[in-house]
Homo-oligomer: A and B are copies of this chain.
Amino acid sequence: MAKSRFEYVRTYEQDGMLLPNTYIVIRLDGRGFHRFADRYHFGKPNDKRALCLMNAAAKQVMGQIPDIAGAYGQSDEYSFVLRRECRLFDRREAKLVSTFASTFTAHYQFLWPQYFPQRVLDGNMLPTFDARAVLYPSLREVRDYFSWRQADCHINNLYNTAFWTLVLTGDLSQHDAEQALMGTNSGDKNELLFGRFGINYNNEDAMFRKGTMLVRDVGSSSESAESRDEPEPEPEPEQHEKSKRQVEREEKKRRKAEIVEMHVDIIGDEFWKNSARWIS
């Protein structure tokens, strides 16, 4: 019959399965958010409402997808890490990245009026996001991934703070501010802020300086809570251990777990001491 004559086109699809038993990190990036921020008059160097909206949308995504263990956001980007056992959508890459992009986009737009009640969205410039997936075989790499993003946050925010202080308070043109900062290191920028403007960068809003970490606090699992000093045992592939019932019980626990928001250093060891509570 008619259907089958054409159905061969399905054989051209690739399955695109992501390797099992690895952490999946999905990073969303705002598309054209430079122009978007201008269009909706975001504050400089940071717009707190815009960041809170990002966080709120990310929490909605976490609420709907229990396999997300944690997330980190800064500027117009958000990274989600999925448990290494995650089997969502049979780990098909296209399905994962498109669903994350779509779900985040939906909530961002839906929540917009709560954060920007005076700024009606324009159909010619709606907020949209792209997404990519990266695999990490060990917790060490996941930690380094988040450290990478926070280091990026720090560098950009320190620069932007100095730049916009020079422009907005110091009355420099954008071109002159750029020149003034060329070749400066972190210390120089801190000094410039303090010496010329009396601004102690460390007193700036922690959300701006550190970004936002969201973790799903599943609670202290019996054996793993305290002993975070020793090396973490290599996680076992799921097939070896869990009954279907146990899997469901754990998912239910994750669904009910609180999502905790933090604006702290995630590069040092301190933050990761309790990582077993949320990522394993």
Q: Hey, which bits of chain A sit against chain B, CB under 8 A?
A: 2-3, 5-17, 19-22, 28, 31, 60, 84, 89, 93-95, 97-107, 109-111, 121, 123, 126-141, 144-145, 147-148, 151-152, 154-155, 230-237, 239-240, 267
Docked-complex contact B123 and A110, CB < 8 angstroms: yes
Collect the chain B residues with CB atoms within 8 Å of residue A22's CB: 19, 22, 137
Q: A102-B128, A130-B95 are in contact. Are A19 and B19 (CB under 8 A)?
A: yes
Task: Contact check, B236 vs A138: say whether CB atoms are below 8 A apart.
Answer: yes
Q: Report copies per complex.
A: 4
Residues of B within 8 Å of A155, CB to CB, are 2-3
Task: Using A2-B154, A2-B155, A94-B130 as known contacts, list a sample of 19 further A-B pairs with CB atoms less than 8 Å apart, ordered by residue number in A.
Answer: A3-B152, A5-B147, A6-B144, A12-B19, A12-B20, A19-B135, A60-B123, A89-B130, A94-B97, A94-B133, A98-B101, A98-B132, A99-B130, A101-B101, A102-B128, A105-B106, A109-B109, A110-B121, A111-B123
A9 touches B123 (CB 8 A): no
Asked if B141 and A98 make an inter-chain contact with CB atoms under 8 angstroms apart, the answer reads no
Q: In the docked arrangement, what's the CA distance between A144 and B167, Å?
A: 55
Instruction: Return chain B residues, CB-CB under 8 Å to A154.
Output: 2
Contact status A130-B102, CB under 8 Å: yes
Docked complex Cα distance between A145 and B133 (Å): 27
Q: Which 3 A-B pairs have the closest CB atoms?
A: A231-B233, A6-B148, A98-B101
Partner of A107, one of B103, B123, B234, B239: B123
Q: Is the CB of A234 within 8 A of B237?
A: no
Instruction: Give bound CA distance, A152 to B231, whole Å.
Output: 35
Say whether, besides A109-B106, A110-B109, A136 and B12 are in contact (CB < 8 Å).
Answer: yes
- The residue that A151 contacts in the complex, of B6, B99, B104, with Cβ under 8 A, is B6
Closest Cβ of chain B to A240, distance in Å, is: 7
B102 touches A137 (CB 8 A): no
A233 touches which of B7, B152, B234 (Cβ 8 Å): B234
Q: Is the CB of A138 within 8 A of B234?
A: yes
- Nearest CB on B from A216, distance (A): 19
Task: Enumerate chain B residues within 8 angstroms of A5, measured Cβ to Cβ.
Answer: 144, 147
Chain B residues whose CB sits within 8 angstroms of the CB of A100 once the complex forms: 98
* Cβ contact within 8 Å between B19 and A102: no
Note all chain B residues with C-beta closer than 8 A to A135: 12, 19
A123: B residues at CB distance < 8 A: 60, 107, 110-111
Chain B's closest residue to A22 (CB) is: B137
